[in-house]
Amino acid sequence: MDKFSFLEITACIGIFVILFLAVFLLTVKTKHKLGNRLFAFFLIANAIDASKFLIHHITDSLINLEVFRWSIVYLVPASFYLYAMSVCYSNFRLKPKHLLHAIPFIAYNLNLMSGVYFENTDMKLHFIKNMNRMPITHFFQFLFELLFQAYFIASFLVIRKSRTVYLENYTNPNISIINALYKITILYYLLHFLVLLRWLVTFTIGLGEVRAWIVTLDGFSFLFCTCWYLFIALNNPEFFRGVNSDLKPITEVVPKQKSSPSIDDEKNKQIESLKNFMISNEPYLNSSLTIQDLAEQVKMPVKDLSALINLYMNKHFFDFINEYRIEKAKEILKDSSQKELTILEILYQVGFNSKSSFSTSFKKHTGKTPTEFRKNPF
């Protein structure tokens, strides 16, 4: 089997897997339809782009369709960014202003109208043969790279900000999908460097053996990415519920006050009062507790409570609540009269709703797994 046959086989498998996943996302019954549709569009656009590995000859009647296929890549970075927004923010909705993201796609097709779409076959072939020497082509290639970098940097920032906001305002967040999204973003970003390498080789060395091997590697990487997407989907059936986009990291809302005896004394009293409330009322046993819920219970503005925990106690709300849950779990694990309770029953009893989250938090605070602690609590 030569490298060209290998490339075709990997491309066929990759396109099949990616289209299969896209169809699943479009048809599965879920409340997260927007995110699924945006990711499905992103996948389909990548499948259309990957079809280049299977195309060896274009008939005259299909030139327009093939040239239009080239323009699809101008929608890919924007679709991934919008997908990241839909995952990270529960109240994200598509609005007319988001059509602005399609401007590069439209501009590229307008450029092709005079040279390809409305010309005869000879003029089309002449335009395509010489387009790589045209300044306007170089401009659009530079524009694509600029857009790619801008959108993916924006995606990284959105993911990081939403994770911070979630940890500051919620407990038991299912952040596995956020971590998966972060990995997908990194993987796709790294894959893009193969595209850059292919372009560099094409412009410096030209079409040849080196470029052919890079294209083959690109095709294999495409297959790897599609399998990775499928792996992520299978391991994260529950979609991340997102945070409200109106929420901001507490450091952006409340600047920490300069330390002074009066401020320190006031904050220490508030911290002590909060700790006493947590011990006596045990609000952390509610698995869906949010900082808004706790603020209502302690009769304190949400902003002030968030600042007290995140700035003055130097803890995320997530860690603050889970510390009490872990202490409660330790009490139960030490209690010989409750030794019949399973670890799963205990984690639900103390406010966790995920075994992995409970195990991770428990080991973080005690250095042991729950099972190890039960056997040796000292």
Write out the H or E segment, with its range, that includes residue 52: none
Number of other CB atoms surrounding residue 151 within 10 Å: 19
Per-residue pLDDT tens over the stretch 271-295: 888 899 999 999 988 887 888 888 8
Instruction: Please state, in angstroms and rounded to a whole number, the distance separating the CA atoms of residues 190 and 306.
Output: 37
Q: What is the pTM of this model?
A: 0.68
Q: What is the mean pLDDT of residues 357-362?
A: 83
First to last CA, the chain: 62
Distance separating alpha carbons of residues 39 and 34, to the nearest angstrom? 9
Domains observed in the chain? 3-235 (1.20.1070), 251-314 (no CATH), 323-378 (1.10.10.60)
**What number of other Cβ atoms are within 10 A of residue 133's Cβ?**
8
Q: In the structure, what pLDDT confidence band is assigned to residue 105 with cuts at 50, 70 and 90? A: very high
Q: To 10 degrees, the CA torsion angle through 48, 53, 59, 65? A: 20
For the stretch 29-45, pLDDT in tens is 766 688 888 888 988 88
How far apart (Å, rounded) are the C-alpha atoms in residues 377 and 347?
17
Give the largest CA-CA distance in the chain. Answer: 88
